[in-house]
A and B are shown apart, each in its own frame.
Chain A
Amino acid sequence: MKKKALKKLSVSVISVIAAVSLIAGCSSSGSSSKQPVQSDAGAGTTTPATAKKDPVTIKVEVFDRGNSPAGMTVTNNEQTKFVKENFTAQTNINVEYIPVPRSQEVEKLNILMASGDAPDIVFTYDMNTVYKYVQQGGLTELSEVIDKYGPDLKAFLGKETLDTGIFDKGQYAIPAKRVYLGKYSSMIRQDWLDKLSLPLPKTTDEVYNVLKAFKEKDPGGLGAKNIPLGFTLTPASYEPIIWSFLKQGTEEEQYTLTQQVSHENMLLMPGHKEAVQFLNKLYNEGLMSPDFSLDKDRKKLSQDITNGKVGMYSEDAGNSYFNDGDIDVLAKNIASAKLTPIDPYTNEEGKHAKPAYASTGIYIIVPKNSKHAAEAVQYLNWMAQKDPMFTLRFGVEGQNYTMVDGLPQLKDDEATKNRLYNAGDMIMISNGTDFGSLDKNLAGMALTYSKPYRDESKVALMNGMQDGIKPVRFDHPLASEAKYGKSLSDKYEEILVKAIMAKTGDFNKVYDDGVKDYMASGGQEVLKERQEAYQAMKN
């Protein structure tokens, strides 16, 4: 009996092998047939004239976020077809897309670089990675090719943005232009305020009083489940509050006391301790989300908001307004609930100081062993032109959008959604869409939000920009920050969590111990390098 089973198994095994090797043979021959295309295109860089005659293939990285609509891939969709019809038709340059999973972009990029397999155009958000490549001599210096082939690109990015791509005096990266620089905005339950006949809070102190009132008078009737201030362990929750406590400081202090560790870290700035102490007070008085330290992905906060438990919270500006986002779902759950955007946290000067983004988005780089730097820049230059960029962003007029007041109104149909699902990633030179004026840009952003709230969302976006402070930066990344960055940003969060959750009497000790540990784990070295860099910059 056993033998029979074995025989049956082995027969099926053999047939499987046969079938599999057949199919595998087919698929591998299928993929290898692509390879000749790239090998005969070596002479591309010499002159543009020859580039136009011979078909050249450039490889371009594209993020794969796993969100391709049914039947499409990031390498084969409406957008890539458009590139082929438009860019390739004009220049005779083929574009082959190399997908890189978004969540592992740096890991995969490192491997591609180490094996000499990197595409001609690659990009990353990680400035330290770029700088590491520069120091190891792996990138192409681009100023010449940009001058020659990238007039539109240059005009589009502008000098300020382009200059942030200069490392060690060479244009080793082309930074994307970031259009909207606001970071955070706050939301408050207007209906709770109305019930208690309270005005919108205008200062950090008033926020405290409102939270206290939310807690004591419980306008939502929630009892123990009441969360006056929704809070998570993300910068969007703590930075707006912390920044309102920071002292302005001298220029030297701004340069030397901030630490750029995966986000801008203000631990050493005067006022930081008072800020954490304030949060500690909120925590101990039961005014903020009790399990905030475990909410790494904001999911819990979202649950609490949409169930109407949260009185106030801050977030990445505009986050609540997405279709089927927090506001939509809250409205569905509690008809009377109303969230209003506010900008209450105020510093000693009466300003709503908060961090803003630098005008730089992703860093686009060309590996040194690429033979197609010229074609790569041509591709980026094409993209920077008005019409191609518009089509990449919004599709085809009539089919995907109609123009209203100079702004494209996207159609709300599947075809449009499917065409544009990775538009942001395709237009790598621009993070966001620049319509030429702030008004239009905000309106343009609002168009992506839930319809009934678009006007309101513009207020939130404006709040996000109000008194925003761009990060100060040296003309080169700092080695110590590259080295300790990740571990320091973890240490920083550890300080926050432990200090916020400390008993009131223990706060000073917990906080000071945390800072000591932080400084010993690399913080001191970052401080030292920053002081040296500042001296060097001043001399």
Chain B
Amino acid sequence: MGALQRYMMRYWQLYAMLACPIAFFIVFKYIPMYGVTIAFKDFNFFQGIMKSKWVGLETFREIFRMKDFYTSVRNTFMLNFLDLIFSFPAPIILAIMLNEVRVVWFKKISQTILYLPHFISWIIIGGIVYQVFATHSGLVNEVLRIVGIHAIPFLSDKHYWLFTYLVIGIWQSAGWGTIIYLAALTGINKELYEAAEVDGASRLKKIRYITLPGMKPTIITLLILKMGEMVHIGFDRPFVIGNIMVREYSEVISTFVYRMGLQSGNYSIATAVGLFQAVIGLFFVIAANYISKKTTDQGII
């Protein structure tokens, strides 16, 4: 009793702080969660969620019977995995490059310019992508033709399309992604660099032993969060860059749900797929957190 009292004397402020955010999560996230039952119901718009008829796992069975569902799950994993390999490190590299720039004004301006693409909406990007990458009339291929190289089907061949998809993704998000790493870099003690200087360490050595370790906590946190998103994928990027020719690769879960569920008002399918993604995502993030705790002693939970 006495121990608990002493504990509360010390910690009550923390609980008081937490009260508001937790209340938020309960009201705005947990109360609506009864909506997941839609996945197990034959949802009727006019009877509402509670009164619609239960159908058990029928919706899941229906989804698992669809060939397109497997394709879209496979593609989601594939595109996310490629992103993990290429797009995830891009902002880290870019942040290090920016960190190495010693002309302050150039550094500042670069940062601001680099994140411009993040603000161009995907619909606009779609139009530009077509003009730049189209096989016969695209800008890049016009240049290639002048140089004497055969036109490359950047958008209409599925393998080249993967490349295009990645490049555009990196272009669009790398600059924006650097911001968080730059914030992390400001926390590095400048004396470390000075000491390394005195020891005659090379630039690459300083990056290896000071800059990267300084960014490590952020990298790990983002990596774990990223793992939780492996089965989630934004709608716009694959939809806008994708086209009929590369459907085999560009059909992902979000576009599948859009086509099968939302557009035709079939909320049971949309919710069931969402549930499927949630379970996998939660598993991934907990697994990643566990592995990270074992290996780097750092996690998010």
Report whether B265 and A106 are in contact in the complex, using a CB–CB cutoff of 8 Å. Answer: yes
Whether A483 contacts B136 in the complex (CB less than 8 A), given A114-B45, A136-B45, comes out as: no
Assembly CA distance A498 to B48 (angstroms):
43
Report whether B264 and A293 are in contact in the complex, using a CB–CB cutoff of 8 Å. Answer: no
**Interface residues as binary, B233-267 with A (CB distance below 8 Å gives 1, 0 otherwise):** 00000000001110100000000000110111111
A21 to B: closest C-beta gap in Å: 16
Which residues of the partner chain A approach B213 to less than 8 Å between Cβ atoms? Answer: none
Report whether B264 and A485 are in contact in the complex, using a CB–CB cutoff of 8 Å. Answer: yes
Report whether A138 and B46 are in contact in the complex, using a CB–CB cutoff of 8 Å. Answer: yes
Whether A483 contacts B264 in the complex (CB less than 8 A), given A136-B46, A294-B243, comes out as: yes
Report whether B45 and A113 are in contact in the complex, using a CB–CB cutoff of 8 Å. Answer: yes
Assembly CA distance A494 to B68 (angstroms):
14
Whether A106 contacts B245 in the complex (CB less than 8 A), given A113-B46, A136-B44, A138-B45, comes out as: no
Task: Tell me the nearest residue of chain B to A107, going by C-beta.
Answer: B262
Which one, A294, A297, A493, contacts B156 given CB within 8 A? A294
Task: Tell me the nearest residue of chain B to A492, going by C-beta.
Answer: B244
Report whether A300 and B130 are in contact in the complex, using a CB–CB cutoff of 8 Å. Answer: yes
- B189 at interface, CB cutoff 8 A: no
Assembly CA distance A519 to B47 (angstroms):
34
A447 to B: closest C-beta gap in Å: 32
Which residues of the partner chain B approach A493 to less than 8 Å between Cβ atoms? Answer: 244
Which one, A132, A293, A295, contacts B245 given CB within 8 A? A293
Which residues of the partner chain B approach A107 to less than 8 Å between Cβ atoms? Answer: 262-263
A120 to B: closest C-beta gap in Å: 15
Assembly CA distance A483 to B265 (angstroms):
10
Which chain A residues numbered 396 to 454 have a C-beta less than 8 Å away from chain B? none
A510 to B: closest C-beta gap in Å: 12
Report whether A290 and B135 are in contact in the complex, using a CB–CB cutoff of 8 Å. Answer: yes
A interface, over-half SS: helix
Report whether A294 and B247 are in contact in the complex, using a CB–CB cutoff of 8 Å. Answer: no
Task: Tell me the nearest residue of chain B to A494, going by C-beta.
Answer: B244
B22 to A: closest C-beta gap in Å: 21
Whether A233 contacts B244 in the complex (CB less than 8 A), given A290-B135, A291-B136, A490-B259, comes out as: yes
B259 to A: closest C-beta gap in Å: 5
Which residues of the partner chain A approach B134 to less than 8 Å between Cβ atoms? Answer: 291, 294, 300
**Interface residues as binary, B193-204 with A (CB distance below 8 Å gives 1, 0 otherwise):** 000000000000
Which residues of the partner chain B approach A490 to less than 8 Å between Cβ atoms? Answer: 244, 247, 259
Whether A498 contacts B245 in the complex (CB less than 8 A), given A114-B45, A293-B156, comes out as: yes
B146 to A: closest C-beta gap in Å: 12
Whether A294 contacts B46 in the complex (CB less than 8 A), given A497-B244, A521-B68, comes out as: no
Whether A114 contacts B264 in the complex (CB less than 8 A), given A294-B130, A490-B244, comes out as: no
A127 to B: closest C-beta gap in Å: 12
Which residues of the partner chain B approach A129 to less than 8 Å between Cβ atoms? Answer: 264-265
Which chain A residues numbered 149 to 188 have a C-beta less than 8 Å away from chain B? none
Which residues of the partner chain B approach A369 to less than 8 Å between Cβ atoms? Answer: 46
Which residues of the partner chain B approach A482 to less than 8 Å between Cβ atoms? Answer: 264
Task: Tell me the nearest residue of chain A to B156, going by C-beta.
Answer: A293
- B155 at interface, CB cutoff 8 A: yes
Which residues of the partner chain B approach A300 to less than 8 Å between Cβ atoms? Answer: 130, 134, 137
Report whether B67 and A520 are in contact in the complex, using a CB–CB cutoff of 8 Å. Answer: yes
Which residues of the partner chain A approach B46 to less than 8 Å between Cβ atoms? Answer: 113, 133, 136-138, 368-369
Could you show 16 A-B contacts with beta carbons less than 8 Å apart?
A106-B265, A107-B263, A114-B48, A136-B46, A138-B45, A138-B46, A291-B135, A293-B244, A294-B245, A299-B127, A300-B134, A490-B259, A494-B244, A497-B244, A498-B245, A521-B67
Residues of A within 8 A of B (CB): 106-107, 110, 113-114, 128-129, 132-133, 136-138, 233, 290-291, 293-297, 299-300, 368-369, 482-483, 485-487, 490, 493-494, 497-498, 501, 520-521
Q: Which 10 A-B pairs have the closest CB atoms?
A: A138-B46, A290-B136, A291-B134, A110-B265, A136-B44, A497-B244, A113-B45, A114-B45, A486-B259, A291-B136
Residues of B within 8 A of A (CB): 44-48, 67-68, 127, 130, 134-138, 155-156, 243-245, 247, 259-260, 262-267
